[in-house]
């Protein structure tokens, strides 16, 4: 049995208080052979010839101690991994020359071919006989190394992620210094490297955040919750450019709970923010003019009402509708229409105070929101200036244009306590203003509201009136340039036994809404045809009968058959009848309108476009729909001399109609001067009080007889 020279053990036994007999050799033996690893003594020769190895040899190498000590089968040199042999020898050699203990790691190949990492520690000593030998200990460290390697790899991976992440990453102190940062963060903040960022940006709170209180908010949330998620702030880059970032971070603490640092990620969300802001703008602003839209108007109105309530003021809501805008839009093109709207919105915004709002609801509808006006007089004064402002001529594409406007006003709290009521009442007032002519301001009155309840009564009365034959027809003659009667327009009249005469402008809309329009049209058509049978010819030509058709009737798929049936019943040829339709017939379903109009044409009817020059006045309708006649709206004829743009529009309509091969009728002709002007422009047919008011059937007959067909 070999013994190891281990003085420490011997000393320990000498130290023992109680003198007991110790079989030192046996103890050492047990210890050495039970070590996890291999203790050895060898020669410093080419084979590392073993003089002694402990039992651990078998576990470590697969060889018995005997195989190794005898050197017959295997040597340590052979067991050493071929690639490591030179290094092992060099490292040991070096240590021995320097008189040091050696410690090294290398690979061995076990008996069954397995490669193991071992750690060897040893020293040169002299044996019992003074011969130089080496003694030491070899241990399997494969597992440890594998763990270490895995750790290193993980560390490497995390480092890679940290350094190459597209997201900014950081560790920072509570005081606002960066402890670590990655390349992405450096780039995001405008630095060349993380080192530069860390060195430069020493005070996050004051140098980074645009709003310094963001850092405090960050720390507050962090203290309360131990983390922040998607914390969005505006920050300053090194070059002073502002960007938006989103931070997610947590507080890193030691196992005992001590604060170490904040650690987190940063994303540049500038683009997303910009996009959101754009969306927000889009949701609240009109694209064309940049003015607040209906949404924002609503919001502002609510705020204004709340403030007026607190301070006891009042808010004015003003509806503005431009006259003739649609026509300008179509006649001069959308670009001109857009330019006009933009110019008007500029004028309005410039004129109002910053606390007031100009909104565009779409089309040519603008709404003003005026805060703190002490009284109606000051609102009126302001709005009169607004009317002037709108009416001021403007240069557009080398042309001078002028538009009129109708303004309706409702006041909070007097005329309503909520957004919808105020808007509705301002709208009602605007319509009242329109009725009174252009460039008008009209305040809401409760009477305007009565219109609504009045409607309900009228509807019931109309239903009854239709059954009781209260509706009759009047005829207004149409003449040619020589004032010879060429046609007559049938106009409905209602005489209520108690209410008296009710104007068509009041009952037609009710008839349209209630569906009574069909029954009314039947009554009027039957009566008109019966009367027309008795009309004489003028200069050998039959007098044409014009009948108004409400756009609502076009929903009826049997409209053509119905009207043809009524005519047949009364013995009138469709060729003698001109149907007057308005543009709104095209709004719902242009294809259906086109089909119906074509069907009318096939039956031989004449078709006229009524009230042209107001409303939509789309020229494409004129071009694509089978219309024979255009009737210039009365308002244009009325304003012919007074308003420059009305004259311009009238002239444009006449020449356009003529160029498309339509005959052009002017209605509402009251003065000789209008008659001659329109005649000069090329109008072919005229209608108006100058020639005759609407007449009863009997009066028309008398009139025709007396004047021999001329008026
Ligand atoms: P409209 O089709 O534009 O009819 C012309 C209107 O102008 C008539 O009003 C007529 O009396 C009026 N008028 C004619 N010449 C002059 C003039 O020189 N000066 C002025 N200030 N006015 C003039 P009325 O009869 O009150 O009819 C109003 C509207 O009611 C009509 O306008 C038409 O849209 C509608 N309407 C009347 N009868 C019928 C009908 O039987 N069916 C349908 N669907 N609508 C009808
Ligand atoms: Ca008409
Ligand atoms: Ca008309």
What mean pLDDT do residues 535-557 have? 92
Examine residue 585 and state whether it is found in any structural domain, yes or no: yes
Answer yes or no: do 124 and 232 share one domain. Answer: no
List the CATH number of the domain containing 372: 3.30.70.270
The residue among 649 and 507 whose pLDDT is bigger is 507
Distance 537 CA to ligand 1 centre (A): 25
The whole-number pLDDT of residue 614 equals 66
Distance 538 CA to ligand 1 centre (A): 24
* Residue percentage of the chain with pLDDT more than 70: 93
- Render pLDDT for 523-532 as a digit per residue (tens, 0 to 9): 999 999 999 9
The span from the CA of 511 to the CA of 458, in Å, is: 9
The span from the CA of 4 to the CA of 32, in Å, is: 9
What residues contact 503, with CB distance under 8 A and at least 6 apart? none
Tracing tokens 């989103």 back to the chain, one arrives at 246
Answer yes or no: do 270 and 298 share one domain. Answer: no
The span from the CA of 67 to the CA of 280, in Å, is: 86
Examine residue 462 and state whether it is found in any structural domain, yes or no: no
With a cut of 80, say whether residue 97 has pLDDT above it: yes
- Render pLDDT for 381-435 as a digit per residue (tens, 0 to 9): 889 999 999 989 888 777 777 788 999 999 998 899 999 899 989 988 988 887 7
Q: Does residue 668's CB lie within 6 angstroms of at least one atom of ligand 1? A: yes
Q: Does residue 634's CB lie within 6 angstroms of at least one atom of ligand 1? A: yes
List the CATH number of the domain containing 697: 3.20.20.450
The whole-number pLDDT of residue 513 equals 73
Phi, psi of 22 (to 5 degrees): -115, 125
Distance 582 CA to ligand 2 centre (A): 8
* Residue percentage of the chain with pLDDT more than 90: 53
- Render pLDDT for 262-312 as a digit per residue (tens, 0 to 9): 999 999 988 888 877 777 777 788 888 999 988 899 999 999 999 998 888
Examine residue 459 and state whether it is found in any structural domain, yes or no: no
Answer yes or no: do 397 and 491 share one domain. Answer: no
Answer yes or no: do 224 and 114 share one domain. Answer: no
User: Sorting pLDDT into bands at 50, 70 and 90, what band is 453?
Assistant: low
With a cut of 90, say whether residue 499 has pLDDT above it: no
Q: Kind of pairing, strands 629-632 and 404-412?
A: unpaired
Examine residue 118 and state whether it is found in any structural domain, yes or no: yes
In the chain, how many domains are there?
A: 4
**Final residue belonging to a domain, choices 218, 245, 274:** 274
Among all ligands shown, which has an atom nearest to the Cα of 476?
A: 1
Distance 255 CA to ligand 3 centre (A): 90
The domain of 413 spans 291-446
Widest pairwise Cα distance in the chain: 165
The whole-number pLDDT of residue 7 equals 42
- Render pLDDT for 349-359 as a digit per residue (tens, 0 to 9): 998 888 899 99
The span from the CA of 545 to the CA of 528, in Å, is: 8
- Give, as one character, the DSSP assignment of residue 461: H
Smallest CA separation from ligand 1 atom 10, residue: 694
Among all ligands shown, which has an atom nearest to the Cα of 632?
A: 3
Examine residue 384 and state whether it is found in any structural domain, yes or no: yes
List the CATH number of the domain containing 189: 3.30.450.20
Examine residue 643 and state whether it is found in any structural domain, yes or no: yes
**Final residue belonging to a domain, choices 247, 274, 301:** 274
Examine residue 324 and state whether it is found in any structural domain, yes or no: yes
Answer yes or no: do 213 and 338 share one domain. Answer: no
By the 8 A CB rule, do 248 and 169 touch? no
The whole-number pLDDT of residue 574 equals 97
Examine residue 451 and state whether it is found in any structural domain, yes or no: no
The span from the CA of 579 to the CA of 548, in Å, is: 6
User: Of 157-166, 409-418, 562-571, which range is least confident?
Assistant: 157-166
Distance 548 CA to ligand 2 centre (A): 5
The span from the CA of 350 to the CA of 233, in Å, is: 34
The whole-number pLDDT of residue 4 equals 44
Q: How far is CA 515 from CA 149, 459, 574, in A?
A: 88, 10, 25
The whole-number pLDDT of residue 620 equals 66
With a cut of 90, say whether residue 546 has pLDDT above it: yes
Answer yes or no: do 79 and 213 share one domain. Answer: no
The whole-number pLDDT of residue 201 equals 85
* DSSP E strands, 413-531: 440-443, 471-479, 485-496, 500-502
With a cut of 50, say whether residue 628 has pLDDT above it: yes
Answer yes or no: do 543 and 673 share one domain. Answer: yes
Phi, psi of 623 (to 5 degrees): -75, -40
Answer yes or no: do 58 and 186 share one domain. Answer: no
Minimum-distance ligand 1 atom for the alpha carbon of 631: 3
Q: Which two tokens stand for residue 367?
A: 């709404």
Strand order in the sheet with 227-236: 178-181, 168-172, 259-268, 242-253, 227-236
Mutate to test the pocket of ligand 1, among 466, 494, 548 (most ligand atoms within 8 A of CB): 548
Distance 631 CA to ligand 2 centre (A): 8
Minimum-distance ligand 1 atom for the alpha carbon of 667: 15
The residue among 495 and 583 whose pLDDT is bigger is 495
Answer yes or no: do 370 and 233 share one domain. Answer: no
Answer yes or no: do 16 and 100 share one domain. Answer: yes
Three-class secondary structure of residue 137 per DSSP = strand
Q: Does residue 330's CB lie within 6 angstroms of at least one atom of ligand 1? A: no
User: Sorting pLDDT into bands at 50, 70 and 90, what band is 590?
Assistant: confident
The average confidence (pLDDT) of the chain is: 87
User: Sorting pLDDT into bands at 50, 70 and 90, what band is 619?
Assistant: low
Q: Does residue 633's CB lie within 6 angstroms of at least one atom of ligand 1? A: no
Smallest CA separation from ligand 1 atom 12, residue: 668
Q: Among 100, 118, 98, which residue's Cα sits nearest to residue 40?
A: 118
The whole-number pLDDT of residue 507 equals 92
The residue among 563 and 204 whose pLDDT is bigger is 563
Answer yes or no: do 240 and 354 share one domain. Answer: no
Minimum-distance ligand 1 atom for the alpha carbon of 694: 11
* DSSP E strands, 146-226: 168-172, 178-181
Q: Kind of pairing, strands 577-581 and 544-548?
A: parallel
**Final residue belonging to a domain, choices 140, 173, 195:** 140
Answer yes or no: do 701 and 587 share one domain. Answer: yes
What mean pLDDT do residues 676-696 have? 94
């Amino acid at each position: 049995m070999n013994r190891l020279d281990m003085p420490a053990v011997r000393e320990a036994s000498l130290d023992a208080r109680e003198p007991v007999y110790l079989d030192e050799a046996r103890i050492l033996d047990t210890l050495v052979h039970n070590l996890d690893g291999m203790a050895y003594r060898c020669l410093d020769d080419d084979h590392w010839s073993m003089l002694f190895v402990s039992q651990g040899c078998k576990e470590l190498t697969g060889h018995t101690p005997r195989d190794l000590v005898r050197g017959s089968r295997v040597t340590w040199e052979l067991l050493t991994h071929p690639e490591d042999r030179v290094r092992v020898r060099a490292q040991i050699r070096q240590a021995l020359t320097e008189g040091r203990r050696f410690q090294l790691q290398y690979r061995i190949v076990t008996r069954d071919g397995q490669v193991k990492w071992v750690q060897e520690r040893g020293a040169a000593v002299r044996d019992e006989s003074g011969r130089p030998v080496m003694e030491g200990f070899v241990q399997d460290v494969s597992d440890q190394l594998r763990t270490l390697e895995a750790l290193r790899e993980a560390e490497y991976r995390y480092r890679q992620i940290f350094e190459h992440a597209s997201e900014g990453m950081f560790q920072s102190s509570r005081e606002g210094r960066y402890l670590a940062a990655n390349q992405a963060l450096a780039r995001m903040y405008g630095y060349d490297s993380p080192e530069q960022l860390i060195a430069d940006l020493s005070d996050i709170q004051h140098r980074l955040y645009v709003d310094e209180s963001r850092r405090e908010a960050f720390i507050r949330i962090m203290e309360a919750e131990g983390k922040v998620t998607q914390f969005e702030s505006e920050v300053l880059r090194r070059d002073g450019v502002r960007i938006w970032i989103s931070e997610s971070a947590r507080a890193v603490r030691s196992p005992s709970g001590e604060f170490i640092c904040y650690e987190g990620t940063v994303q540049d969300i500038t683009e997303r923010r910009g996009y959101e802001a754009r969306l927000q703008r889009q949701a609240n602003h009109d694209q064309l003019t940049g003015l607040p839209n209906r949404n924002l108007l609503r919001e502002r109105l609510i705020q204004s009402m709340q403030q007026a309530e607190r301070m006891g003021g009042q808010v004015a809501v003003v509806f503005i509708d431009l006259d003739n805008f649609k026509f300008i839009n179509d006649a001069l093109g959308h670009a001109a229409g857009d330019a006009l709207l933009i110019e008007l919105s500029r004028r309005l915004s410039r004129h109002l105070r910053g606390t007031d709002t100009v909104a565009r609801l779409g089309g040519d509808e603008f709404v003003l929101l005026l805060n703190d006006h002490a009284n109606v007089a000051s609102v009126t004064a302001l709005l009169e200036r607004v009317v002037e402002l709108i009416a001021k001529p403007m240069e557009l594409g080398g042309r001078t244009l002028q538009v009129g406007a109708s303004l309706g006003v409702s006041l909070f709290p007097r005329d309503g306590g909520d957004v919808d009521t105020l808007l509705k009442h301002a709208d009602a007032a605007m319509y009242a203003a329109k009725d009174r002519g252009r460039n008008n301001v009209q305040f809401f009155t409760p009477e305007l509201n009565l219109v609504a309840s009045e409607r309900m009564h009228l509807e019931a009365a109309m239903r009854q009136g239709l059954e009781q034959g209260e509706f009759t027809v009047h005829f207004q003659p149409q003449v040619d340039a020589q004032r010879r009667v060429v046609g007559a327009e049938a106009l409905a009249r209602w005489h209520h036994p108690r209410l008296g005469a009710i104007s068509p402008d009041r009952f037609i809309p009710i008839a349209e809404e209630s569906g009574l329009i069909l029954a009314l049209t039947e009554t009027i058509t039957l009566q008109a045809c019966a009367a027309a049978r008795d009309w004489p010819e003028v200069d050998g030509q039959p007098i044409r009968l014009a009948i108004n058709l409400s756009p609502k009737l076009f929903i009826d798929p049997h409209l053509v058959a119905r009207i043809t049936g009524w005519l047949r019943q009364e013995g009138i040829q469709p060729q003698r009848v001109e149907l007057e339709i308005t543009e709104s017939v095209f709004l719902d379903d242009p294809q259906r309108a086109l089909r119906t109009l074509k069907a009318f044409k096939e039956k031989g009817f004449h078709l006229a476009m009524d009230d042209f020059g107001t409303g939509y006045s789309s020229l494409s309708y004129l071009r694509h729909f089978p219309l024979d006649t255009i009737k210039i709206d009365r308002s244009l004829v009325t304003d012919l001399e007074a308003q420059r743009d009305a004259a311009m529009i009238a002239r444009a309509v006449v020449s356009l109609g003529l160029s498309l091969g339509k005959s052009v009728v002017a209605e509402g002709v009251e003065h000789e001067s209008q008659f001659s002007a329109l005649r000069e422009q090329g109008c072919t047919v005229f209608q108006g009080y100058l020639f005759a008011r609407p007449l009863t059937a009997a009066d028309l007959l008398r009139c025709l007889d007396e004047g021999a067909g001329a008026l």
